[in-house]
Amino acid sequence: MATKQENVNLLERSKTKPPKLYKVILLNDDFTTMEFVIEVLRIFFSMGQERATQVMLQIHNEGSAVCGVYPKDIAETKVSQVSEFAKQHGHPLRCQTEEN
């Protein structure tokens, strides 16, 4: 039978680390409309109109902006969804992940 100290040591070793987080970044281009970028931010990143406008202006003025920070699988899914949505609507909007 394990002692109390041994049980504590087992519990400490079994703790898992939180997953690494990844930034989802939208990149500026000369063809995607500002309105479309705002729509993407509202649909895929649950931003309100005002916040989406602020982020869109950051993308426009600085070349890119972080739209959210997520675990790797969610970040990659967001990139896929945004890229597919942009493609369906004829926009070359680019989206990428970067480790936080």
CATH number for the domain including 93? 3.30.1390.10
What is residue 27's predicted lDDT score, i.e. its pLDDT? 98
- Residue 50 within a domain: yes
What is residue 76's predicted lDDT score, i.e. its pLDDT? 98
- Residue 26 within a domain: no
- Residue 78 within a domain: yes
Domain of 58? 33-99
What is residue 40's predicted lDDT score, i.e. its pLDDT? 98
Low-confidence residues in the chain, pLDDT < 70 = 1-14
- Residue 12 within a domain: no
- Residue 51 within a domain: yes
- Residue 17 within a domain: no
Among the listed residues 74, 7, 49, the one whose alpha carbon sits nearest the alpha carbon of residue 57: 49
| Cα–Cα distance for residue pair 66/3, rounded to 1 Å | 49
The amino acid sitting at 89 is: H
The predicted model scores a pTM of 0.83
Among the listed residues 44, 38, 34, the one whose alpha carbon sits nearest the alpha carbon of residue 84: 44
The tally of domains found in the chain comes to 1
